[in-house]
Amino acid sequence: MTETHTAAVLEAYGEPLVLKTLPLPKARTGSAVIRVLATALSPNTKANLAGVFGLAPLRTPVIPGFSAIGRIHSVGPDATRLRQGQLIWYDFFTQSRDDPDDSIHAGFMGGHLPLEETWKNNTFAEYAEVPLERIWTLNEELLCSTKGYSFKDLSYLGTVAIGLAGLLDMGVRCGDSVVVAPATGTFGGSAVPAALSLGAKVIACGRNAKTLARMNDVFGASGRFVTVVLTGKVDEDTVAIKAAAGGKGADCYIDFIPPQAVGTTHILSCLGALRHKGRASFMGAIFSNIEIPYFLIMLKNIRIEGRCMFDRGHGEQAVKLLEAGHLVVGDRPMGGTKMHGFKLKEIHQAIDAAVEYSGWGDMVVVEP
């Protein structure tokens, strides 16, 4: 008798997801089948499934999904470490094995047909087949039994590891000062605990004074967290950020500009607030050109780089920081993120809630 499971299928962009009973996926060479325990939703889920987010569309039908916490159900013949029943973290950023320039966000963003065809059944389901190289094992006894993390809490790893990658690329060290802007969104907000876990001082910038105040309630106890409410006046904001960083300027700046922030001035202010040989990482999602202070960048020897998602080594470091207790996730001191759980049968409500709870401090999670 063929084993089956339930999955939420996108038949076409703009149509609602349909719950279907499908054959259980089978592990092939290079893959594992996981039982999905918790998938954290991007705040852009609804816009993306409607086809209006501006990313490369997926070929439909497809089972959408994101980074997830799961348990190994079966593995392909070339797996040497993974075992049935292990608790794992999987991420949906999938690169070609013979050309890393080719990549997709499996179940979310396309752009390369062979990859889309191979990895088209993602984590809005009870089970999913995923590539081995995007799986990290978790110490369940330590994280769940000793530290008391739930699967919902752990699903935040897929978000916080994105900002951590940009910080590690810049070589952020203990004692460095890091500007995070805008810091009040889902991804910018996650860069705050990531930077704190590395021992950095964080200058969180944004226009939403209320959210920044809530962040201070959570992270202020570290003694390495300050906020700057941006005014939109370049010179004034530059002075405020430099002062918050200690006067001479910050060592690093990580940017998570959202698509709707066309014409923003904060990039000029944050770059202007960097010290000599400062570093900047651009990780946002704006689809137009921006203005940068060319002469200042040259004069101060500032390094600017881009970073999309995270590599395997970044994921390994995120797990190490979490297991060592330097990184905190979930709704607890130095974590500050409330995880809102929904069942797979409530997928439409979950997608709407992801829009409602967009921004730092809340995360919608589907637990099949």
Q: What is the pLDDT of residue 133?
A: 97
Task: Kindly state the tokens that stand for 118.
Answer: 């191979």
For strands 201-206 and 31-40, give the pairing.
Answer: unpaired
Number of neighbours of residue 302 by Cβ within 10 angstroms: 20
CATH of domain 171-306: 3.40.50.720
Q: Which amino acid is at 180?
A: V
pLDDT in tens, the chain (368 residues): 569 999 999 999 999 999 999 999 999 999 999 999 999 999 999 999 998 876 788 889 999 999 999 999 999 999 999 999 999 999 999 999 999 999 999 999 998 999 999 999 999 999 999 999 999 999 999 999 999 999 999 999 999 999 999 999 999 999 999 999 999 999 999 999 999 999 999 999 999 999 999 999 999 999 999 999 999 999 999 999 999 999 899 999 999 998 888 889 999 999 999 999 999 999 998 888 999 999 999 999 999 999 999 999 999 999 999 999 999 999 999 999 999 999 999 999 999 999 999 999 999 999 99
Cα–Cα distance between 308 and 166 in angstroms, integer? 8
Cα–Cα distance between 366 and 97 in angstroms, integer? 29
Does the model's pTM come out above 0.75? Answer: yes
Q: Which amino acid is at 250?
A: A
The sign one gets for the Cα dihedral 163, 164, 165, 168 is positive
Helix axes 186-197, 157-169, angle to 10 degrees: 60
59 burial via Cβ count (<10 Å: 0-12, 13-18, 19+): exposed
| Coil, helix or strand at residue 322 | helix
Domain with CATH 3.40.50.720 in the chain: 171-306
The sign one gets for the Cα dihedral 326, 328, 69, 63 is negative
Q: What is the pLDDT of residue 54?
A: 67
* Residue 90 CA to its chain's centroid (Å): 12
DSSP, residue by residue, 112-167: -HHHHHHT-B-SSBSEEEEEGGGEEE--HIIIIIIS---HHHHTTHHHHHHHHHHH
Q: What is the pLDDT of residue 286?
A: 86
Q: What is the pLDDT of residue 260?
A: 81
What percent helix, strand, coil does the chain show, rounded to 5? 30, 25, 40
What residues pair up with 180 in beta bridges, in sequence order? 204, 254
Q: Which CATH superfamily is domain 4-156+337-366 in?
A: Medium-chain alcohol dehydrogenases, catalytic domain (3.90.180.10)
Omega before 61 within 30 of 0, i.e. cis: yes
Alpha-carbon separation of residue 206 from 185, 194, 351 (angstroms): 9, 18, 26
Q: What is the pLDDT of residue 58?
A: 86
Q: What angle do CA 196, 200, 206 make, to 5 degrees?
A: 70
Give residues with Cβ within 8 angstroms of 205, minimum separation 6.
179, 180, 181, 182, 183, 227, 228, 229, 230, 237, 241, 266, 269, 270
